[in-house]
Structure 1
Amino acid sequence: MKLWGGRFEKGTDELVNDFNSSIRFDKRMYKQDIKGSTAHAKMLGKCGVITEEESAFIVKTLAEILDEIENGTAQFMIDAEDIHMNIETMLIAKIGDTGKKLHTGRSRNDQVALDIRMYLRDETDEIIKMLKDLLRVLINIAKDNLDTIMPGYTHLQKAQPITLAHHMCAYTQMFERDIMRLADCRKRINIMPLGSGALAATTYPFDREFVARELGFDGITYNSLDGVSDRDFVIEMSGALSIIMMHLSRFCEELILWNTNEFSFVEMDDSCSTGSSIMPQKKNPDVAELIRGKAGRVYGSLMTILTVMKGIPLAYNKDMQEDKECIFDAVDTVKLCIPVFAKMLDTMKFNKDVMYKGAGGGFTNATDAADYLVRKNIPFRKAHEIVGKTVLYATKHGKALSELTLDEYKAICPEIDGDIYYAIDLKTCVEGRKIIGGPAKEAVLKTIEKDISFLEKEF
């Protein structure tokens, strides 16, 4: 008989039982469930709802159950529906009526809200650590490539010369925001709902603050209806994970392009590439492509939980069981992608000569030519027009700006002198942009210094 079966005359249909059960996916929260139940048992004893001896007996037995689950001797049962009822069933099997006292004043509604918060809190901490490891890889690449000039792009057209270090630091900013976003989300995850009961709290003199302290929560919920039915934190974390995957996917898209024969900016290491079953020459960037594809999977998890929650009246409804598979999958996917992406990036070879050559094409120094004319006291819009005509002339004659003769320059604009060649040299173009956030070495070093300081922060 089920622990809630007193009101029923018939047993649950086997098909319905399987459909209703969540143990196949929520069993991963066994540690959190036992930890929460342990704190609840201590509080029951502290408040005199059960005796101190009963409380200690329950706590001791829960620790034994944890050991049995972790050494594989305990077996979960589909018939017990979920992780909460499984743990309680094991407890009652061991200590009988004393075990039946554990659930006093508690509902599975506030119990599951507690467990999922504790689980996501732990996973948030783990993902932040992974992102920090990825940041270290990016910082190291940036430090090694302060002078590696490459083309920067807009609209996938060559735009202006930058450095590989500057490009890597664009992603350090993204992943730092991801860490801050997760850390901020964690604040709203880390609020303790236990004591909300099914929806209307309890008549027992519970010390909710005691349980919150025992479990490391920053505070408690202040409305029992919201305490059991809130899944904003799941949605928020799903959103944060989706943004992480968006950043990884953008990066992967660039690396896939850079790895093509047409770009040849990078070469994937053999350890992070795969071959073709029919084309022997192929070396495919499958890791990057898979991460790019898995971004859609995490987006799907966000859409799932948003859709599940959009039409649910207060308080708890069984629909909310659907929150777990989607957030678990999103967490698992992100945790799978970050370290393999970091490894792929860390083992990648950057073809610096090809990057430099690429920066020399596409008139990436045209803006600097216009700035040169501005320094000659020509208004920028007029300078823009002059350089546009110069680029048109160079294009028609198959030349780069650096290949035009001084006579050709003067025929277009008499104010141009021999110092134009220094002004449009790629290194000059990069190093002249010393403003904070720019690609010059001294500016990038400031960014790297900021990034290193960020890694030392506690979140």
Structure 2
Amino acid sequence: MKMWAGRFQSETNALVNDFNASIHFDQRLYPYDIQGSIAHSQMLQKQGILSEEDQKQIEQGLLEILDEIQEGKIEFTSEYEDIHMCIEQLLTEKIGAAGKRLHTARSRNDQVALDMRLFVKDHIQKIQSQIIVLSQELLSLAKSNLTTIMPGYTHLQRAQPITFAHTIMAYAQMLRRDLIRLSNTYSLMNESPLGSGALATTTYPIDRFYSAAFLGFDKPTSNSIDGVSDRDYCLELLSDLSILMMHLSRFSEEIIAWCSWEFKFIELDDAYATGSSIMPQKKNPDICELVRGKTGRVYGDMMALFTTLKGLPLAYNKDMQEDKESVFDAIDTVEMCLSVLPKMCQTMTLYTNTMYQAAKKGFLNATDCADYLTKKGLPFRDAYKITGQIVAFCNEKGASLDELSLQTLKEFHPLFEEDVFEAIDLLNCVKQRNVYGGPSPEQVEIQIEEITRFLAKMEAEHE
């Protein structure tokens, strides 16, 4: 018999029962449901609504159920319908009448709203910790490659010389913003819906501020209808995770390209690559390809929940049950991706000479050649045209700019002097871009220091 069956004269159809039940996926909310129930019982006892004896029985019973679930002694079945009814029924079977008093002054509507907030808060912090680990690995790569020259690209065409450190720090900056976005979501959602009831609170003299503080929230939600029907934070989380996955996907795409024989800038460790069942020479970057593919999955979770919520009237509707699988799947996917990427980065091999040769062959110092003539007094557009002519000449001869003699360069313009070779040296080209945010080793070190301080602050907040 269902706990809500007093109004009904016949049993629920078995198919409807299975269709309606959420226990097969919301069972993972059990620690949060128990945490919220303990807070609720303590508040009821403080307010004189629940006796001290009943409260102690309830709390002890809930802690025993928590242990039994963690030890695998409890089997979740659809007869429980959802995790809230399951915990309450198990508690009542364990301690008797006191268990029936736990639900005083609350509804499953505010229970599930509370459980989901506690779950999301917990996993935001876990994901942030994982992002910090990946960011620290990127910082380590950057510190070791401040003068590792590689081509910078626009339109996937070699454009200007940069360093591997500068490239890696671009992704560190993306992850920094991802951490901030998640912190903003955490801050905005850090209000407790407990005590909202079904939608209109309760006639009992409860203390919502007490239970909110007990559970680590800043305050209770200000409107009880909004308290039970708000899932904005789920949408915001899924948006944050989608942006994070987009960044991880872009990074993965770089790794995939750099691993190819066409680039061969890096090679993944054998432990973080796979082979082919038919081609013995293959070494595939499957981890990165899966991260790239799973990005679409997280996007799908976000769009599914947006679509579910878009037409719902106030307050709670059963449609909201659909929030869990989308949120659970997105979180699981992100956490799985973040668990493998740091070690993959730590163990990969960089082919620095290949990077340098790619930069050398791409006329990446052409802009610096034009700048050299401009600094000698030639208008930039004239310098640009002359440098373009030199590049065309080099293409015909199969040479790079720094391989031409001074005499040959002077045939294009008399302003060229011996110091041109210093100006177009690839490392010097990078060092001369000593502007805040630029690729010079000095500036990249500033970026590294800034991100290091930021990560230290984030870690301190998590302690």
Whether TM-score is above 0.5 comes out as yes
Which residue is 1:321 aligned to? Answer: 321
The reply to whether residue 118 of structure 1 matches residue 118 of structure 2 is: yes
- For residue 438 of structure 1, what is the aligned residue in structure 2? 438
Partner of 1:331: 331
CA distance in 2 between counterparts of 1:381 and 1:323 reads 58
Q: More deviation in 292-301 or 390-399?
A: 390-399
Q: How far does residue 197 in structure 1 lie from its aligned partner after superposition? A: 0.8
Which residue pairs with 1:296 in the alignment? 296
- Deviation, structure 1 residue 52: 1.9
Residue identity matched to 2:409: Y
Mapped contact 2:113–2:228 kept (Cα < 8 A): yes
Q: Which amino acid aligns with 1:424?
A: I
Supply the distance in 2 between the matched residues of 1:142 and 1:123 (Cα, whole angstroms).
28
Name the amino acid aligned to 1:261: W
Amino acid at match of 2:224: S
Which residue is 1:210 aligned to? 210
The question of whether the paired residues in 1 share the 8 Å contact of 2:435 and 2:443 is answered with yes
| Alpha-carbon shift at residue 148 of structure 1 (Å) | 0.8
The residue number in structure 1 matching 2:140 is 140
State the match for 1:396 in structure 2. Answer: 396
Amino acid at match of 2:121: R
Shift of 1:42: 0.6
How far, CA to CA, are the matches of 2:196 and 2:338 in structure 1?
A: 37
AA at the equivalent of 1:398? G
Alignment partners' CA distance in 2, 1:427 and 1:129: 36
SS in 2 for 1:455: helix
Paired position in structure 2 for 1:378: 378
Distance in 1 (CA, whole Å) between partners of 2:71 and 2:296 is: 36
TM superposition score normalised by structure 2: 0.97
Find the aligned partners of 1:249 and 1:336 in 2 and give their Cα distance. Answer: 14
Quote the Cα distance in structure 1 between the aligned partners of 2:425 and 2:136: 32
The answer to whether the 8 Å contact 1:149/1:356 transfers is yes
Distance 1:196 1:416 in 2: 78
Q: Give the Cα–Cα distance (whole angstroms) in 2 for the partners of residues 381 and 117 of structure 1.
A: 59
What are the equivalent positions in structure 2 for 1:101-250 lying under 5 Å apart? 101-250=101-250
Provide the C-alpha distance between the structure 2 equivalents of 1:32 and 1:171, rounded to a whole number of angstroms: 34
- 1:160 is paired with a residue of what secondary structure? strand
Alignment of 1:422-437 (within 5 A): 422-437=422-437
SS at match of 1:162: strand
How far residue 210 of structure 1 moved from its aligned partner, in angstroms, is: 0.4
Q: Which whole-Å deviations, capped at 9, do the CAs of 1:388-411 have from their partners, x for residues lacking one?
A: 222222223322111222233222
Match in the other structure for 1:305? 305
Q: Which whole-Å deviations, capped at 9, do the CAs of 1:316-348 have from their partners, x for residues lacking one?
A: 111110000011000000000012011111110
Paired amino acid for 1:313: P
Matched residue SS, 1:161: strand
Matches within 5 A, 1:82-93: 82-93=82-93
Counterpart of 1:285 in structure 2 is 285
In the alignment, the residues of structure 1 paired with residue 13 and residue 384 of structure 2 have an alpha-carbon distance, to the nearest angstrom, of 77
Identity %: 54
What is the alpha-carbon distance in structure 2 between the residues aligned to residue 89 and residue 395 of structure 1?
80
The separation in 1 between residues aligned to 2:388 and 2:448, in whole angstroms, is 35
Q: Quote the Cα distance in structure 2 between the aligned partners of 1:419 and 1:323.
A: 65
Maintained 8 Å contact 2:151/2:160: yes
Corresponding residue for 1:357?
357
Deviations 1:285-324 (A, max 9, x none): 1111111101111111111111111111111111110000
**SS of residue paired to 2:457:** coil
Could you list the structure 1 runs, at least 4 aligned residues long, displaced by more than 4 angstroms after superposition. none
Mean Cα deviation higher: 388-397 or 350-359: 388-397
Deviations 1:179-214 (A, max 9, x none): 111111111222101111111111111100100111
For the 8 Å contact 2:24–2:77, the answer to whether it is kept is no
Output the CA distance in 1 between the equivalents of 2:105 and 2:402: 80
- What is the aligned partner in structure 2 of residue 55 from structure 1? 55
Q: Which residue of 2 aligns with 1:34?
A: 34
Partners of 2:205 and 2:431 lie apart in 1 by: 69
Deviates more, 1:376-385 or 1:361-370: 376-385
Given that residues 120 and 189 in structure 1 are in contact (C-alpha distance below 8 angstroms), is that contact kept between their aligned partners in structure 2?
no
Checking the alignment, whether the CA contact within 8 Å between 1:194 and 1:208 is kept in structure 2 is yes
Which residue of structure 1 aligns with residue 261 of structure 2? 261
After superposition, the C-alpha distances for 1:128-162 in whole angstroms (9 at most, x for unaligned) are 11111111111111111111111111111001111
For the residues of structure 2 that align with 1:374 and 1:6, how far apart are their CA atoms?
Answer: 88
In structure 1, how many angstroms separate the alpha carbons of the residues matched to 2:206 and 2:97?
21
CA distance in 2, matches of 1:389, 1:405: 15
How many angstroms apart in 1 are the aligned matches of 2:188 and 2:412?
Answer: 63
Query: Aligned equivalents of 1:429 and 1:418: distance in 2?
Result: 16
Q: Please state how far the C-alpha of 1:412 moved relative to its aligned partner.
A: 2.0
Hey, what's the Cα distance between the residues in 1 that align with 2:379 and 2:120?
57
Three-state SS of the structure 2 residue aligned to 1:50 is coil
**Residues 94-133 of structure 1: per-residue CA shift (max 9 Å, x gap):** 1222111111111111110000000010001111111111
Give the match's secondary structure for 1:456: helix
Amino acid at match of 1:306: F
SS of residue paired to 1:121 = helix
Looking at structure 2, the residues matched to 334 and 368 of structure 1 have their Cα atoms a distance apart, in angstroms, of: 42
The one-letter code matched in structure 2 to 1:38 is: I
In structure 1, the residue corresponding to 2:160 is in which secondary structure?
A: strand
Could you say what secondary structure the match of 1:34 adopts?
Answer: helix
Q: Which runs of 5+ in 1 are unaligned?
A: none
2:251 paired with 1:251: yes
Deviations 1:11-56 (A, max 9, x none): 1111111111111111111100000000001111111112122112
1:413 and 1:320 mapped to 2: Cα distance? 72
